[in-house]
Structure 1
């Protein structure tokens, strides 16, 4: 994601599975199960079931437990069921976790092969994270933005996995439970944050819109008889009324919290931040250590940018004396270059134009394997996904339905108003728009997720690590420029430095705000003066840090791990190092944590 948004099929955020299981917000109508029944938990070594069998059986139980998560992964057989996010559901989740950890605890890691050993570690981490999110983090009680029925319904409506009338029947079944869903959501809330309340209002309004004309048009297309049509419309009317009631409840709650000043702070503090970082990022360092590395990397990148700025200065300001301060000359050049950009109307068409050019470059330079039979679809971000603080994102199908469309979601600049749209155009100027497309599309998120869906390990594909996913997209940017994209133009490298500072400041900002209490004014000053961001980007980033925690660190942490690993491999193999082979092998392990992939690829560095 451009730095994130919640995709339709499968988000590249680690929270997808967690939220789906905790609160529960392709071409085949019935995909064949890829497992056999689960064994009893304690069995003697001589009859112990193969680990893969137990792991796959656990996945099947998770699919049964959360039909919403199943839909995002491309499994639709339970799609008509709605998980009601109440206390009974949370108890059932904890019971599933306890049983699963007991079963996995029967396996001694040293007796498994390396691929299975890493699958075991991934499963145990994810299950313990689920428990921590439910019992300690408790976002279900203070993040009303977790509750939105529109996502799954829109996947069912827009994914051609079955005839339209069958998909509408599943949607009708889901609509019938919408009132119960929002009644449970209302009962869950305990002093939410104002920021997540505002987001919930915005996104549920978008969800309400998606359950209007678009859905009714599909109903007409299906050709239901009068009785079936009236029944569907009756369920739809009650569902829409429930969403409207939820929005009204949130608006009233928002007014009360603003008047009383008793809203929960969006800052989670060090007590929650470090364990969340450990569960989500799964790296060999702490959040505090990453913060220190980001501060050091910031100064290194600024020094590189200053060297480029000094060389470029006479080309653009031949009669102007070079400013004394490095930040001043960098800022002056970036400000000047940012005037080169497309118009508002050209923004999305230009993104569409660049995608095939990127694919051709990757193929011609033998950077990694692609799949020309699975084109990327660029579309406007659906309304129910907007408001989270990102202008672009990718929605990818799950491994059970890899043939479904992959969407590159771009929010139309017209929706931001004239002044903000102009600021975004300068932010995503001629050079940075290219870097954005590398990140989101080719060979970034889109390409990585295609490879992930081919992984023989369901565990590594389903339980993707956000730092690896985002880190790969950031790594892809630098790798493409190293390979010659942009013709080694110094202007491109200067703008890449600005983009790199964005990634670095994501990590700095997130930790500084949530742990050290950095305020809005200081954050905006840092982003604009130290990272040379336009006011639009800085303002959106502040909004985003108030709505998420840790995720903003995933870009820098993942990138640093991947780049460091590649350089170790290059040094170890010397002339035998093949970049394309390295990339293909690295991506073949699904979206596993970078440390796990490095171990599987024979990294010689001992793990901490």
Structure 2
């Protein structure tokens, strides 16, 4: 059963708090309660999101055996809910609240409005476009592709009840995939067909599922492996559950994959084009909405394209200067200003001792930069950061990735895949350590977790432009801390990574606004970012079906650096970098426009304080 529109319920909520909807109480409790109520009601209709977020409430428990509705009817309900949420928020006078409540309102409005903008098109699919899933199917992260990962990583298997929910959700896969097929048909009727490369990639993955059969299905294999150790599941119940799961995969899950595959193959037969969203009905408007969601700022595609080219030129010039002034000729091979992955050094034979030495070296880097952090931050996370080696069989992970802490119970972790690290170009490791660890993701996430009183929306939603923009800003901060003074290769590696992000910005806007072909995008990535032919092809195809996403990193970095320059110029000798970083991080992850407002408020308050003190 779908929840009714929220406006009436939210007005009632505010009334229960003792205030009319248009004049909430100045201490902020009504606003926090309202946003929490919106969040809970919104996700009550999204069982998969509740599972991923670990929400434990009556709605989550009652829907633990269902998958999220992706029917065409659900699309209209989503639009209505977003509109009702916005209407309730727009009735509130922000000036009656403290800054934190104002930022909560701004973030909630940004979230609902940006998602409503992406769902407004008559060909939009019937699910929240949080990851800008434009097409009903694609080769990357369409529903059909990601369901096995959801069952593997998100679906809990702590006890027998979880196991039965797993089986129930296997049956629900059939309905979900048929709904995806309906969305594919709707889009085709509106003139929106995925690019051919997306259809072909999706068909390949669907075909693998169908050909594997039930016994080799990742759905069944994951279930069998994870059942070991499940509470309340003895040998007899384990066999019963496995029989039920196999029957579900064979009679429901795989036939649904086959039906979707047939529909995708029919689409391939009529689709020869690989064009950006500019070629779709209202494609320019959709791309503008996608940019607003992914960047959190009001910069249009033309400006972003120019920014990308400008950043590429700047970065290449800085790389050339390092090669010219800091690296002996014997250390430079080929065009070092663009080489990123083609000239990979031969990886030494790995063993346990070598892996531990690598782990210790990464820990030493963190220890060194950790000693310098108090000069740049007034507050640091209370949670520790550990360096761990990825399991030997953890294929598909990044070379270095971050695992957030579990409150104050579990420390954060910087996980390194030794084999992939050894395959990095020389100088490629340090910036990954600073980006993911200190002063990057761990500082930002650790401080954000301290804000336990914030509404759930602010604790759950992390705008990419801010989180990844901060991590890239942290890479630049590492330079200012002097960690590269005696490591020109590491500094060059940092710039290579920055160059890739800038080139992605150029390609994203090129494909979707400048009408580039895939061949143009691939040539650019090879020539400018030094990618191999295979890397450039994969990268360009990824951006073709994810409009706007590749813009977040560089826009985030550029915005945070611009805000710091603005604050430094406004405050002069009164500028305090530690206080500036506090403003960026003390509010958790926010859309960049909201961050900009917070910085302006801090600048004005600092000036007022100085003037009062001077008087």
The interval holding the TM-score normalised by the smaller chain is 0.7 to 0.9
Residue 394 of structure 1 contacts residue 406 of structure 1 at CA under 8 Å; is this kept in 2? no
Residue of structure 1 equivalent to 2:13: 38
Distance 1:121 1:365, change over 3 A: same
Partner Cα distance (2:255, 2:413) in 1: 31
Residue 467 of structure 1 contacts residue 558 of structure 1 at CA under 8 Å; is this kept in 2? yes
Partner Cα distance (2:336, 2:160) in 1: 58
Residue of structure 1 equivalent to 2:67: 82
- CA positional deviation for 1:353: 5.0
- CA positional deviation for 1:272: 1.6
Task: Give 1:211's match in structure 2, choosing from 212, 216, 219.
Answer: 219
- CA positional deviation for 1:463: 2.5
Residue of structure 2 equivalent to 1:108: 93
Residue of structure 2 equivalent to 1:240: 249
Question: 2:451 aligned with 1:471, yes or no?
Answer: no
* Greater RCO, CA 8 A, separation 6+: 1
Residue of structure 1 equivalent to 2:543: 545
Distance 1:501 1:110, change over 3 A: same
- CA positional deviation for 1:345: 5.3
What do residues 477-517 of structure 1 show as CA deviations (whole Å, max 9, x unaligned)? Answer: 11112212234433333333222211211111100011112
Question: 2:412 aligned with 1:432, yes or no?
Answer: no
Residue of structure 1 equivalent to 2:520: 522
Residue of structure 2 equivalent to 1:356: 363
RMSD (CA atoms): 4.1
User: Structure 2: where are the runs of 5+ without partners?
Assistant: 4-9, 127-133, 606-615
- CA positional deviation for 1:379: 4.1
- CA positional deviation for 1:600: 2.2
Partner Cα distance (1:43, 1:133) in 2: 31
Distance 1:584 1:377, change over 3 A: farther
Partner Cα distance (1:348, 1:203) in 2: 34
Deviates more, 1:469-478 or 1:492-501: 492-501
User: Structure 1: where are the runs of 5+ without partners?
Assistant: 1-20, 22-34, 321-327, 414-420
Residue of structure 1 equivalent to 2:554: 556
Q: Secondary structure at the match of 1:436?
A: helix
Pairwise mapping of residues 149-188 of structure 1 onto structure 2 (< 5 A)? 149-156=147-154, 163-188=158-183
Residue 513 of structure 1 contacts residue 519 of structure 1 at CA under 8 Å; is this kept in 2? yes
Residue of structure 1 equivalent to 2:233: 224
Residue 399 of structure 2 contacts residue 417 of structure 2 at CA under 8 Å; is this kept in 1? yes
What do residues 518-549 of structure 1 show as CA deviations (whole Å, max 9, x unaligned)? Answer: 22332222222223334454233223212311
- CA positional deviation for 1:138: 1.4
- CA positional deviation for 1:263: 6.8
Residue of structure 1 equivalent to 2:49: 69
Residue of structure 1 equivalent to 2:130: none
Residue 290 of structure 2 contacts residue 548 of structure 2 at CA under 8 Å; is this kept in 1? yes
- CA positional deviation for 1:56: 1.3
- CA positional deviation for 1:170: 3.6
- CA positional deviation for 1:101: 1.8
Residue 276 of structure 1 contacts residue 550 of structure 1 at CA under 8 Å; is this kept in 2? yes
Partner Cα distance (2:305, 2:355) in 1: 35
Residue 71 of structure 1 contacts residue 152 of structure 1 at CA under 8 Å; is this kept in 2? no
Task: Give 2:135's match in structure 1, choosing from 139, 142, 160.
Answer: 142
Distance 1:393 1:199, change over 3 A: farther
Distance 1:585 1:547, change over 3 A: same
- CA positional deviation for 1:429: 1.2
TM-score, normalised to structure 1, is 0.77
Residue of structure 2 equivalent to 1:308: 322
- CA positional deviation for 1:158: 6.2
Look at both structures and tell me which one has the larger radius of gyration over its CA atoms. Answer: 2
- CA positional deviation for 1:364: 1.0
Residue of structure 1 equivalent to 2:454: 457
- CA positional deviation for 1:303: 2.2
Task: Give 2:489's match in structure 1, choosing from 475, 491, 496.
Answer: 491
Partner Cα distance (1:562, 1:538) in 2: 28
Residue 38 of structure 1 contacts residue 58 of structure 1 at CA under 8 Å; is this kept in 2? no
Question: 2:265 aligned with 1:255, yes or no?
Answer: yes
- CA positional deviation for 1:392: 5.9
Distance 1:462 1:339, change over 3 A: closer
Residue of structure 1 equivalent to 2:613: none
- CA positional deviation for 1:47: 7.1
- CA positional deviation for 1:474: 1.2
Partner Cα distance (1:494, 1:530) in 2: 15
Residue 344 of structure 1 contacts residue 425 of structure 1 at CA under 8 Å; is this kept in 2? no
Partner Cα distance (2:430, 2:167) in 1: 42
Pairwise mapping of residues 311-390 of structure 1 onto structure 2 (< 5 A)? 311-312=325-326, 315-316=329-330, 330-331=336-337, 334=339, 338=343, 340=345, 342-343=347-348, 352-353=359-360, 355-366=362-373, 367-368=376-377, 369-373=380-384, 375=386, 379=390
Residue 74 of structure 1 contacts residue 397 of structure 1 at CA under 8 Å; is this kept in 2? no
Partner Cα distance (1:36, 1:155) in 2: 38
Question: 2:67 aligned with 1:57, yes or no?
Answer: no
Partner Cα distance (1:90, 1:381) in 2: 43
Q: Secondary structure at the match of 2:537?
A: helix
- CA positional deviation for 1:277: 0.7
Partner Cα distance (1:139, 1:66) in 2: 15
Q: Secondary structure at the match of 1:592?
A: coil
Distance 1:393 1:477, change over 3 A: same
Distance 1:331 1:119, change over 3 A: closer
Residue of structure 2 equivalent to 1:31: none
Deviates more, 1:496-505 or 1:143-152: 143-152
Partner Cα distance (1:435, 1:90) in 2: 42
Partner Cα distance (1:113, 1:59) in 2: 21
Partner Cα distance (2:350, 2:496) in 1: 25
Deviates more, 1:448-457 or 1:342-351: 342-351
Q: Secondary structure at the match of 2:92?
A: coil
Q: Secondary structure at the match of 1:501?
A: helix
Partner Cα distance (1:300, 1:337) in 2: 22
What do residues 547-605 of structure 1 show as CA deviations (whole Å, max 9, x unaligned)? Answer: 31111000110000111222333445556555455434422211102332232243549
Q: Secondary structure at the match of 1:107?
A: coil
